[in-house]
Amino acid sequence: MLAGSDPYQYQPGFGNHFSSEALEGALPVGQNTPQVCPYGLYAEQLSGTAFTVGRSGNQRSWLYRIRPSAVHRPFEPYSRGAHGVVGTFDAAASVATPTQIRWLPFPIPDGADVDFVDGMRTIGGAGDTALKNGLAVHIYTATTSMGRRAFCNSDGDLLIVPQQGRLAITTEFGPIMAAPNEIVVIQRGMRFSVALPDGPSRGYILEVFDGHFELPDLGPIGANGLANPRDFQTPTASYEFTSDEWEIVNKYQGELFSARQDHSPFDVVAWHGNYAPYKYDLACFAAINSVSFDHVDPSIFTVLTCKSAHPGTAVADFVIFPPRYEVQQRTFRPPYFHRNCMSEFMGLIHGEYEAKKGGFLPGGASLHSMMTPHGPDARTVELATSRELVPGRVADGTQAFMFESMFQLRLTRWAAEHTQRDHSYYKAWEAIPATFDPTRKVQ
Ligand SMILES: [Fe+2]
């Protein structure tokens, strides 16, 4: 990187074998582990899959750094703050409920210094990090930057959805700036530190305990559409060479641990490989839907999927409901009523979701669990059944999203008992009338 140039330089593509060097010639030529690396750097591999995973699915990167990341003092239990991140969801610590659940916006602490790590709270999840099976959904609310603290999640990959405030993320692979309406994926084991250029910030996090996110197959859609690979952005190498004291906070088996070291974790001068963080602007999503009548299932809005071992079934899908045209004729256009064999957690980045005319607000959330009935609220139904079906825009100025999972989620007590939980949510459907008339057959 040249002095004075934009520090945020990205490499386009998804799952590529990227390579980047902040100093010319820092990447070894023709081999990964020379006896002595250029500039006296140390070679370190970060493995995102087992060594023996087949070539098409194997993920790893080689990092060339000033000091190995092994150079740190022992990890100790994290003592700062009352952190609310968990990695197991047993009956003693969490709550199962099949009811429809909604939360009003999660408040950002007022007057307190809370960074990204201390501001992370688990809403719910399923499975167990130790068995690499399941997922967790978190929310973060933060007011201050992490400074010389780095976070590392040993439990799974994090898909971060900023809702308020940009995140200036320093990673071992280089810096990433993520604004609301962009997402960032930081995979298992990568160290990163979050600064808040816009002050108080809030967002959502989807964590998967096994596997990695990938682009969904397109089937009959063909080679183009939905999230296109070229729009994903991976950072370029950038390093700092200091002897400052740093704290590494490590989430391991759902618990936080802290270690200190006398050098920056962001000392990677060059790297290459296909295991690297990335960001994606949701505005780049090429939406597809019916142009005649009826609905295509919402899977058509899948941005990324983390596949399970069951074909066609996901540990978690990340799905969006972007601004688009709706043109279907003789069709009830809002999202249809349904009960799903998957769990649906929804959040709202900005705007007003087309199926809910109030109560589902930016920074809030809803959870429709497995087989929990849900759909458009009473007002949406009334409008949708009486309007003229001309082609029109939907969701302009709005970005809602869904974490959809094959697992049954349990709520943490923090989320189940939160003061922002909207216990009147069931009323969203209460006013839907019975319009059945056995003497009036009209379609
Ligand atoms: Fe749904």
How many CA atoms lie within 13 Å of 368's alpha carbon, on the beta-carbon side?
A: 19
Q: 335 C-alpha vs ligand 1 centroid, how far in Å?
A: 8
Cα-to-centroid distance, 371 and ligand 1 (Å): 10
User: How many Cα atoms occupy the beta-carbon half-sphere of 15 within 13 Å?
Assistant: 13
- Region for 147 from its dihedrals, namely left if φ exceeds 0, alpha if ψ lies in -120 to 50, beta otherwise: left
Span 177-216, pLDDT tens digits? 999 999 999 999 999 999 999 999 999 999 999 999 999 9
How confident is residue 86, by pLDDT bands cut at 50, 70 and 90? confident
Which residues partner with 94 through β-bridges? 412
CB 150 within 8 A of CB 259: no
The catalytic residue positions are 295
Q: How far is the CA of 308 from the centre of ligand 1 (A)?
A: 20
Burial of 387-416, coded b for 16+ CB within 10 Å and e otherwise, reads: eeeeeeebbeebbbbbbbbbbbbbbbeebb
Average of per-residue pLDDT across 218-228: 96
Percent of the chain with pLDDT over 90: 92
Tell me how crowded residue 56 is: count the other CB atoms within 10 A of its CB.
6
For the chain, where do the domains classified as CATH 2.60.120.10 start and end?
A: 3-92+113-282, 286-428
Mean pLDDT of the chain: 95
SS3 at position 383:
helix
Place of tokens 């005649």: 292
Distance from Cα 86 to the centre of ligand 1, integer Å: 26
368 Cα: distance to centroid of ligand 1 (angstroms): 7
- Encode pLDDT of 199-209 as tens digits: 999 999 999 99
Q: Which two tokens stand for residue 139?
A: 């929310």
* Residue ranges of the binding site for homogentisate: 353, 374
User: Where does residue 49 rank: exposed (0-12), middle (13-18), buried (19+ CB within 10 A)?
Assistant: middle
Q: What's the rounded Cα separation, in Å, for the pair 248 and 30? A: 33
Q: What is d(CA 157, CA 223) in angstroms, rounded to the nearest whole number?
A: 27
Would you state the pLDDT for residue 357?
73
Domain 3-92+113-282, classified CATH 3.60.20.10, yes or no: no
Question: What phi and psi, each to the nearest 5 degrees, are found at residue 102?
Answer: -140, 145
Report the range of poorest mean pLDDT among 62-71, 172-181, 227-236, 379-388. Answer: 379-388
Q: What is the structure's pLDDT at 442?
A: 76
CA dist 201 and 116 (Å) reads 9
Rounded CA gap, 372 and 366, in Å? 12
* Tokens describing residue 205: 């996090």
DSSP conformation letters of 171-187? ETTEEEEE-TTEEEEE-
Ligand 1: centre distance to CA 407 (Å): 15
**For residue 3, what pLDDT is reported?**
54
How far is the C-alpha of 172 from the C-alpha of 152, rounded, in Å?
11
Binding annotation for Fe cation? 338, 344, 374
The radius of gyration of the chain from alpha carbons, rounded to an integer in Å, stands at 23
Cα(365)–Cα(101) distance, integer angstroms: 8
Cα distances from 45 to residues 10, 42, 54, 65, 356, in angstroms, run: 21, 10, 18, 11, 47
Angle at Cα 136 formed by Cα 131 and Cα 142, nearest 5°?
Answer: 135
What span, in angstroms and rounded, lies between the C-alpha atoms of 339 and 375? 9
Bridge partners (DSSP) of residue 257 are 77, 250
272 contacts 65 by C-beta, under 8 angstroms: no
| pLDDT score recorded for residue 176 | 98
Q: C-alpha angle with apex 209: 208 to 215, nearest 5 degrees?
A: 40
The CATH number for 286-428, chosen from 3.40.190.10, 2.60.120.10, 3.40.50.720, 3.10.290.10, is 2.60.120.10
Using an 8 Å Cβ cutoff, are 302 and 216 in contact? Answer: yes
pLDDT at 443: 67
Query: Would the pTM of this model clear 0.95, i.e. be above it?
Result: yes
